Amino acid sequence: MKRQFRDRDYIETVEGLLFTVVGNVHPKDHVLSYLKNLPNPLGKWRRSRSRYSRPMRYYSARNVMKTIKFLRRTYPQYVFRSETLKLSFSAVPVQRILEHYLPEQHLAKLRATGHLDALQRKTIELTSTISEASGVSVKHFGVTGSILVNIHNVKFSDIDLVVYGRSNIPRVKDAVLRLYGTDRGNVRKLQDTYLRTWCKQQMKTHPLTMKEMRELYSKKWNRGLFKGTEYSIHPVKAEKDIKERYGDELYLPEGIIEVTGRVINSENSYFLPAIYIVDHVNSPQRVFDNVREIVSFESLYADIASRHEIVKVRGLLESVLDKSGEVTHQRIVVGSHENAQSEFMKVVCAK
């Protein structure tokens, strides 16, 4: 049997729609995911005789909301109302899945074949470079995005890698940061035109200035250039790392707040959703003694703050309830879809 659905897997539906899986915790009969590609005879991406377009070029909560509106009009069967999360999200019913694409299996398949195009060869080279530098076996890597579903274009597609396992992520991060400081492997951070373009793209859906976006990128280790091709690395939990189950907690929205807080644990901030444990959460008008977490569904804010750093955040305050209905604590969610464009997180005092 195939493993469970993980973050960054892809799903193809019976209509030929391609969805990207979000997170590792899903309802019993649905897979939480967002629409990434759909059949379109004029699309830029192609596989054999089929062409595909993208309803959104870059992932953000605001853009996901746009795709949900599209699905409501055209494919309402892929809009799911979550009583656990108290919101509607795109999700694929299990019975409508035609194919489940696994990043680690596809990467292994590419490594085993000699018939590769230029972008696929770069993918293998980049994975090998990072694996050798980190000591993390290539079996813990995968490839997602357009390469995973064989609709990539060698002229403009990026390389999107996955690294599985909580214990492997710090080793990969350290290795990539070392590679940035050497001439080995042609691994570079975004600079000049590439960096300006990336910042401008992010500013379209996030309320940060160019200066703030550059400062944020300085903390991002998992997006850069390899031999002139942009790449990203996405940490994903392995099955043994996943303790929670869908429905273990319920969430009650309490309204939008803007506060500062101190990060006391960031070990789960690598993943999606990115979770920061915080204390001393307050605004000029109020102290929020019961807020214990900042939870970001925006990957932009993953792994940008470390222990003891002070962050400023605007997001949706939620009360977290256990199965009995008792409030255990509160959290602040960044990327709560209705308010996504106004929400943010940034470091205001580094350690």
pLDDT at 281: 97
| For range 4-19, the mean pLDDT | 96
Which residue did the predictor score with more confidence, 91 or 337?
91
Q: 3-state class of 169 per DSSP?
A: helix
pLDDT at 110: 97
Whose CA is closest to 320, among 243, 250, 273, 247? 250
pLDDT at 299: 92
pLDDT at 197: 96
Whose CA is closest to 294, among 24, 235, 304, 239? 304
| For range 286-294, the mean pLDDT | 96
Whether 280 shows a pLDDT value over 90: the answer reads: yes
Neighbours of 17 (CB within 10 A): 24
Whether 345 shows a pLDDT value over 70: the answer reads: yes
pLDDT at 107: 98
Which amino acid, one-letter code, is at 301? Y
Does the model's pTM come out above 0.85?
A: yes
Q: Which residue has the tokens 């999360």?
A: 85
Considering only CA atoms, give the Rg of the chain: 20
Q: What are the structural domains of the chain?
A: 10-101 (no CATH), 103-239 (3.30.460), 250-349 (2.40.50.140)
Q: Report pLDDT digits (tens) over 218-262.
A: 999 999 999 999 999 999 999 899 988 898 999 999 999 999 999
pLDDT band at 339 (very low <50, low <70, confident <90, very high): low
- Sheet of strand 141-144, all strands in order from the earlier edge strand to the far edge: 141-144, 159-164, 229-236, 223-226, 187-189
Pairwise CA distance, residues 37 & 10, whole Å: 10
Check: CB of residue 71 under 8 Å from CB of residue 79. Answer: yes
| For range 293-305, the mean pLDDT | 95
